[in-house]
Chain A
Amino acid sequence: KAGVTQTPRYLIKTRGQQVTLSCSPISGHRSVSWYQQTPGQGLQFLFEYFSETQRNKGNFPGRFSGRQFSNSRSEMNVSTLELGDSALYLCASSSTGGEGYTFGSGTRLTVV
């Protein structure tokens, strides 16, 4: 079966702009989690969605938001981009959440 698909793979944005990243989970998986990965902070948990509801949220400012659609596809949005938002954003899906995540290849966001 198809894996987790993240689009786009690479993105360059200017400070102050906003960006939307997309994640299509494995068919049948209802839990989608988002992580931010940077060399300094490692993998930081952003949020987790299950059946269109946000179940968990990490310690990120309100500029970071997300949503999940009825087909389990998820998007995350970052508004008013800052240089420090440059990172690899990873999406992961699982059937229930909490174990056995399958990750996408990530979206590399560069803010200039």
Chain B
Amino acid sequence: GAVVSQHPSRVICKSGTSVKIECRSLDFQATTMFWYRQFPKQSLMLMATSNEGSKATYEQGVEKDKFLINHASLTLSTLTVTSAHPEDSSFYICSARGFSGVADTQYFGPGTRLTVL
């Protein structure tokens, strides 16, 4: 089946630094990738939709200058958390849109646990 990877799986950083998270579709091309944030024991909140070669579309309330998204190729999207603060600590999950047979399906990465000290 389709595989999506994320790197790193865990990152701890100091307040004020920037952190980059990579999301890769390993065995298929994904024109669209999505970035979610998940708080403990809560649901996934869509942050932005990333289309290859164009600017990301951010959901209401998500700061685009804070969470920079780049989708430079059909297999890679990156999320950069700029000037991270403790309140940015969370579980960040990406998904890639692909086709399973004839069906449009999202495949999820394993997530990245960000802790900002």
Q: Do A and B bind each other?
A: no
Interface residues of B (CB under 8 A from A): none
Binding site for B on A (CB under 8 A): none
